Structures are given as structure tokens and as C-alpha cells.
Amino acid sequence: MTKPPWLRRATRAARALLATGTTAVLAAGLLTATATTSQAATQAPCDIYAAGGTPCVAAHSTTRALYAAYNGPLYQVRRASDSATKDINPLTTGGYANAAAQDSFCAGTSCLITVIYDQSGKGNSLTQAPKGAFSGPAAGGNDNLANAVEAPVTVGGHQAYGVYVAPGTGYRNNHTSGIATGDQPEGMYAIFDGTHFNGGCCFDYGNAETSSTDTGNGHMEAIYFGNSNFWGSGSGNGPWVMADLENGLFSGAGTGNNPGDPSVASRFLTAAVKGGPNQWAIRSGNAQSGGLATDYSGVRPNASGYNPMHKEGSIILGIGGDNSNASAGTFYEGVMTSGYPSDATENAVQANITAAGYSSAATSTGALTPGSRISLQATTAPCCTSHYLRHDDADSKVVISPISSASSATDKADAGWIVRAGLANSSCLTFESANQPGRFLRHYAFQLYLDADDGGSNFAQDATFCATTGNSGTGRSFQSVNYPAKYLRHYNYTGYLAADGGSNSWDATASWAQDTSWLTAAPWS
């Protein structure tokens, strides 16, 4: 088969690098080469793996090219308004994703990520995971697709989007080529949002069954990230990077708890797993700085069925091998290799990752633009002008309360919101809690709550509000996308979705215009 031009160039680059000698020399050289922006594009993770003799056989990213010479599509989005699809490419060869192309294509509607293309040339792209032993929530028992705006990020100063896996979301490829099977050696890494996880089974990226069913111990080898302690765990309360080897999440040589595997806490997490004959390792690090720690490296687990392994070579993202789909997480990029990568090769990849510049910093404060941090101040006088919309620590309700510079750090943080593109309409807005990332302002039974996304289209609608001129003539009002006659309102110091006159007590006409008008203020947190 003729290789595409970018792959031919990548192979040539890899060969040239291999000619430089040992992996240690190579790694040291790469650390220097990736340290400056101008040279960053000369090496990408898969060039480094190729040079180390363990080439990528799958390379997935919605944020950037993983080969310096890659200029094909990164991912595909489908918009709700007319079901049209669009491929999102790198801005330049080897560069960052053209997120602006997604923004304009999805303006005024919502988009799902339909394909995460394989950049390796092996055709191992990821698409909607089909029903397995467990059904997903989408039609036919398939899993949901990720909302394309739910994991915004900047990489090297460029806006991009990750893959936001709410429970029920999953991607898979059961017909791969070149992925390890049986006891063959392989490696893999992924970059995750280290603050977005849960204890459901199983937020995985890696090698799984081709049947989407549990075919027994040792039939998987995937990176797991989350705080499930049902099978295995590490030190502290999690979350942990573990290996999903089927019928068990492993954190070391034994089943159950292995205290050598640390809880991890960075916003951007590099997680790596590799495995070969009676040998495997877990490594992790902060994807913004520093190196990779080795959390485990040694022999295969002592439970039966894991030595030798029985890998099947399908690829999963966000789910377990049998399509268990109760898990949550966010994926930015990841690869799988042929062969067991050396620690030096992985260290060089980590240096490339930290040089790439992942960031979640606010783009501004006090503005109603996605990425900005704000607080929302009530305008109703005289009761409420020192009150701000905040979540309530006692429950998941959203209320207003007075906040001032003298307020506690918790109260201030509870009144901080990160403006996001609207989950159900990217031209409207969604508000994410500043101190509870992954939880969003939404209405339910016309009251306001702070909730995690359950992956359903109802949630996206319940969490999307369109900014309008304030109903009182002051500030802004926020109109519900699924109940356009209703707006964000405070009533008796509690948050509601209210019409101007209606059947609920909080639809009362008196003060409605003021109660639904808010000032966007600099954030209290």
C-alpha cells in the first residue's frame, strides 16, 4: 500500500533520528529540540516513538498533529441543525487544530465529535462505540458522542477542544490494523483532564476486545483514569492511573490496593501504560511541566489469565472493554505503539508534551465570552444588589447570597463561573462552576442546580442560556434555550427558571424584570 506523503516524510525523519545512535542520546537531543517554539514542530510524539523503534500504530488528537509532517484531518464534527459534517484540520502541517473552523461551522447550533482520525496511516480512527455487553444511551444501544465544545483548552496559545466524556459517551474501533494482539508488546500514553473523572467503569484508552464483550482476564490492556476502587487502587483517595487488563483495574503486581501507585492531581495529566511478555509499567506526570514518574514497573499481575496476555487489538476511548459506560473524563491526545517503548523514549515524548503548552487559563475576566471568569450580580433593589448567583454547599441548589471582599474564600469561589460556549447552542452560553469543574448551572423542574453532565441532550439544553439585554433595561438576562419564555431568576433568594407570569410561584410578575436582570461582574474567584 502506498503511504500518504506525510507518513513517508515522518518515516524518513524517524530513520534519520535512529541513525543518531542510542535512545539516551536521542532523548537528550530532543529535550533541547523541543524546548523552543520555533523548533517544536520538528518533532512530535509519534516521530519520537518511531525514532525509538516503537512506532505509533494509532495516533488520536483533537488538539494537534502528533507527527511533525501530518497535515490530514484531526477529527470530524457533525452539527445538529442539518446533520452536515466537517473535518477539522491542523492550522499548519504538524500544527494545532483549527478550532475556529469548528466554531464557525457550529455557530448557532450544537456539534458532536463523530470521528477522531488516526494520524498513523493505519486507519485506526475512532467512531461512536457500538452496543456491547452493555448498552449505551444512544439509538440502537450505541454510546453517545462527545459534545464538541465541552472541553475547551488552549495549546501553545491556540484554542482547541478536547473530547469530553460524560457517562454514556464512548468511542471504539473493533477493526484495527497493526495494534498488538496476544502477548505482543505495546505502549500507549494519553493526556487527560486530571480534574474530570469519576468512579464508574471505566474511563479507558487503549487495547480491548474486538467483540465489545468481556472475553476474559488479559483480553485488554488500556490506560484507566479515575477513582474507581472496585478492583484496584493506589495510595490516597485517587484519582489513579491504572491499567485495565479486563476483569480488573491494576495498580501494580497484585490485585487490589498497591500503595506505590499515587493519587494524581494535575489539571493536565500524562498517563502511560506499556506491556510485553511478563513485563508492564504505569507512568504518569503533569502534562504542563516536569517528567514522568514510574508508578509501577515489573512482572505481570499474579492473578490467573494475565501472563501471557490475550490482547485482541481493538481500541476504546471512554469506556470499558465490554462497553461499560458509567465513566467520565476528558481526552486531549493519545497514541498506541507497536513494541515496548523505552523509558527514555517516553521521557522525550513527555518533554514534547510539556513544550506543547496545554493551558486552561481564563481568556479574560468579567466578560460574557467563552473562557472568561465572571460573577453574576443581582440587580433587584433594595433587597439584593449585594447578592451574587452561587451554588450552595449544603446541596446542589443554586441561590443568591451577599458576597463581599470580607466573604469566606469558599463563598467567593462558589460565586465564580466560567463562561462556556452553550452546550446546546454554541452561540449561547453555559456556566461552569469555577470551583467544581465539570459541574454546570442547569434548570430541572424549573429550579436551578449545579450538576455534572449526564451526557443526554436534555442536560445540554437545560444548561444553555442565551444572553439578551436585561429585561429591566439593566445588565443582561439569560433566556433558556429549551424554554425561551423563561429566564434565570432569583426568587426568595433561590435560583429558578421563570416566565413573566405563570403557574409556578417564582413566575410572579412583581419584580420579574429586575429578578431576571444580572450584572456581569469580575469574578469573586
Out of 304, 445, 503, 510, the only residue in the binding site for ligand AHR (CB under 6 A) is 445
User: What is the rounded distance in angstroms from the CA atom of residue 110 to the CA atom of residue 240?
Assistant: 33
Q: Rounded to the nearest 10 degrees, what angle do helices 343-356 and 23-33 cross at?
A: 10
Residue 145: CB minimum distance to ligand AHR, A: 20
249 binds ligand AHR (CB under 6 A): yes
Of residues 56 and 179, the one with the C-beta less far from ligand AHR: 179
Which stretch, 171-179, 307-315, 383-391, 442-450, contacts ligand AHR (CB under 6 A)? 442-450
DSSP state of 513: H
The answer, yes or no, to whether the previous bond of 167 is cis (omega within 30 of 0) is no
> At its nearest, how many Å lie between ligand AHR and the CB of residue 461?
6
- Number of residues in contact with ligand AHR under rule CB under 6 A: 20
Interface mask toward ligand AHR for 87-106; x: CB under 6 A: --------------------
Smallest separation, CB 235 to ligand AHR (Å): 20
Q: Is 246 a catalytic residue?
A: yes
Count other C-beta atoms under 10 Å from residue 266's C-beta. Answer: 18
Residue 287 engages ligand AHR in binding (rule: CB under 6 A): no
Q: Which of 58, 362, 419 is nearest to 205 (CA)?
A: 58
Q: What residue number has its CB nearest to ligand AHR?
A: 320
Comparing C-alpha atoms, which of 29, 10, 44 is closest to residue 349? 44
Q: Which of 295, 322, 451, 515 binds ligand AHR (CB under 6 A)?
A: 322
CB atoms inside a 10 Å sphere around CB 117: 23
Find the binding residues for ligand AHR in span 206-235 (CB under 6 A): 214
Ranges of beta strands (E only) in 301-340 are: 314-317, 329-338
Determine, following the binding rule CB under 6 A, whether residue 457 of this chain makes contact with ligand AHR.
Answer: no
Of the candidates 118, 186, 193, 322, the residue annotated as catalytic is 322
The one-character DSSP state at 422 is -
Nearer to ligand AHR, 186 or 214 (CB): 214
Which of 64, 390, 391, 443 is in the footprint of ligand AHR by CB under 6 A? 443
Cell numbers that stand for 94 in this block: 504538524
Antiparallel, parallel or unpaired: β 487-491 and 494-498: antiparallel
Beta carbons within 10 angstroms of residue 374's beta carbon: 29
User: Judged by CB, which is closer to ligand AHR: 158, or 443?
Assistant: 443
In the complex, what is the shortest distance from the CB of residue 338 to ligand AHR, in angstroms, rounded to a whole number? 23
For residues 271 and 192, the answer to whether their CB atoms sit within 8 Å is yes
Instruction: Tell me the DSSP string of 144-182.
Output: BPEETTSSEEEETTEEEE-EEE-TTB-EEESS-SS---B
Q: Considering only residues 467 through 496, tell me which ones interact with ligand AHR, judged by CB under 6 A.
A: 482
Neighbours of 445 (CB within 10 A): 9
Cβ proximity to ligand AHR: between 346 and 507 the closer is 507
**DSSP state, 131?**
P
- Choose which of 164, 197, 446, 478 interacts with ligand AHR (CB under 6 A): 446
Q: Which of 186, 246, 343, 451 binds ligand AHR (CB under 6 A)?
A: 246
Write down the least CB distance from residue 321 to ligand AHR, Å.
Answer: 3
Give the one residue of 95, 232, 239, 248 binding ligand AHR; rule: CB under 6 A: 248
Q: What does the alpha-carbon distance between residue 152 and residue 372 come to, in Å, rounded to a whole number?
A: 12
Binding site for ligand AHR (CB under 6 A): 201-202, 214, 244, 246-249, 320-322, 324, 443-446, 458, 462, 482, 497
Residues assigned a catalytic role? 246, 322
